[in-house]
Chain A
Amino acid sequence: MNNAIHALLTTMLNKRYIGAKHTPEKKILAAKTRYLDSNSKKEFQKEYKELVNLGIIIRERKRTGKANDWHISLQARKLPFVYELLQKDEDNNLQRNKGR
């Protein structure tokens, strides 16, 4: 799992952006990818697309002011899956560090 994706999912879970509680997509993605290389940015985009296609992240167009913006939140029914993903990633990292 890309480190920025891990950061994105932990932020959304911690701040409880679940279901009807959503956040602007541009803002949060820009915050997580600001200091990444071009390669890691491409990886991030791929994995993010996968998460949206799997339905883990809900992406909706919301009316803000006079225009529309894309907002994202986590799918409430797939939260256990998100938590397992994060746990697996940390376990993998622990094993890698032990091997070193």
Chain B
Amino acid sequence: MGAFCDIYGQSIRNKVLEYLLENQKIDIAIGDMAKEIAISKPKAYDLMSDFEANDYVQKSRLVGKTQLYALNTNNQRVQLFLQHFKQCLALVAKEQENLLAQKQKRKSVRSKQRKRAVTAHSK
């Protein structure tokens, strides 16, 4: 799973939260969400009804027979979740930067070693 679940735990509730936070700007369908996260549909519907009761999620529109849901960004708790999610993404970007910096260091050290070997050989 993603960085959010790595930090806050791999529970099914956190997986659903993470999915909602990733798709904060678009509408989602519960069946599709269950398939993508690899959880059972009854559990997905159960959790979404809980989230609706807590006002984390709202019904947005109907596409054919499919009811779509969207994250309620006006809720204060959801805003807290969004802040934490932002920080998780910032962490991922930082970790990747550090990895790249380490790789470049190793490259420069190796190139210096090769130069020394070449100059020693030429002497």
Q: What is the interface of chain A, defined by CB distance below 8 A to chain B?
A: 3-4, 6-7, 10-11, 13-16, 18, 31-32, 34-36, 76-77, 79-80, 82-83, 86, 90
CB distance from B34 to the nearest CB of A (A): 13
Chain A residues whose C-beta falls within 8 Å of the C-beta of B93 in the assembled complex: 13, 79-80, 82-83
Q: What is the interface of chain B, defined by CB distance below 8 A to chain A?
A: 1-4, 18, 21-27, 29, 32, 36, 63, 66, 68, 85-86, 88-90, 92-93, 96-97, 99-100
CB distance from B56 to the nearest CB of A (A): 17
A14-B4, A35-B68 as given contacts; A4 in contact with B89, CB under 8 Å: no
Q: Do B96 and A14 touch (CB < 8 A)?
A: no
CA distance A15 to B2 in the complex (A): 4
Q: Do B25 and A3 touch (CB < 8 A)?
A: yes
